[in-house]
Every structure is written in structure tokens, then in C-alpha cells.
Amino acid sequence: MPAKKVKEFLDQNNIRYLTIIHSIAYTAQEIAAAAHIKGKGFAKTVLIKTDGKLAMCVLPASYKIDFDLLKEALRKEDVRLSNEQEFKDKFPGCEVGAMPPFGNLYGVDVYVAASLVEDEEIAFNAGSHTEIIRMQYSDFERLVKPKILRFSAKYRT
């Protein structure tokens, strides 16, 4: 089961969470719809490279990274999307593109969009394209200790 590492971590820390199984979906918006969660209520994990180092950006599914804001927030010029070759082996037990936002379990820095902090709960991929975990955002923040930054903007429809 792909979510084993995250679930064990949550259980060891006595965190209450809900696992939701859904039909196979690949994009954050598709997953949110399949699980009947509003796009802003589902957190997607986007991998970036900054100064040659892998990092996670976690933001609402209905938002996108504004790289100008991210560069400014990180005070770095070299910030870009990571490609699959750069991270596919970094998250053992996870399907590519379904990594949970627990970079602390994989030695990866985590940056959370300030727009996500407003929500009481967080839902995210649990390591597969068919399973998500929903939990209290405050528990997530306490366990992961992400850096909260302003780097996202809503998708325009």
C-alpha cells in the first residue's frame, strides 16, 4: 500500500485522519472531483528545484505556482519545476505524481502556500492515484513544519 509510510507516521503521532479511496485520477482537479472535495480544499504537491536542490510546494488544487512570487519569497533566482527524472526515485513506495506533502519523511524541504493555511482541513494524495488522506491542517503543519510563503495564484477560467 503506497500510503504506508505516511499512515505509520500519522499513527505514531496519534493523528486522526480519514482515508478516501477514489477512482483513478491523475490531476489534482480530477482527484478533488473524484473525491467530492472542492479544488481549494485539495492540496497538490508540486516538486521544484532551487539552487540544484529538490523541494516541495504544496498549494490548493485550484491554484498554480507564481514563479515570480516564489523566487521573491525564497530570495533565489534559480527556481524551476523539477522534471520526473529528478524525483522519480526520491519517494519510494509512491506512484510518480502522487507524492504526499510530507517532504520531512523524504528529506525534502516543504513550502506551503499561504492560501492553503486558511483551511481547517487538508486533503492530499496518499502516494497513489486512487487514495487520499484528509486530516486537520494544524496537525499537518505541526508534523511537517513547512515554510509558509505567498507563491500561488488562482487559475483563471
Structural domains in the chain (count): 1
With a cut of 50, say whether residue 132 has pLDDT above it. Answer: yes
pLDDT reported for residue 83: 93
Categorize the per-residue pLDDT at 56 as very low, low, confident or very high, splitting at 50, 70 and 90.
very high
pLDDT reported for residue 36: 65
pLDDT reported for residue 113: 96
Please report, for the domain that includes residue 62, its CATH number: 3.90.960.10
Instruction: Indicate whether 139 belongs to any domain.
Output: yes
| DSSP secondary structure of the chain | -TTHHHHHHHHHTT--EEEEE-S---SHHHHHHHTT--GGGEEEEEEEEETTEEEEEEEETTEEE-HHHHHHHHT-S-EEEPPHHHHTTTSTTS-TT---S-GGGTT-EEEEEHHHHT-SEEEEE-SSSSEEEEEEHHHHHHHH-PEEE--EEEPP-
Residue numbers of the domain that contains 24: 4-146
Q: How many CB atoms lie within 10 A of CB 48?
A: 22
71-122 tens-digit pLDDT: 999 999 999 999 999 998 899 889 888 899 999 999 999 999 998 888 889 9
User: Which three cell numbers mark 157?
Assistant: 477560467
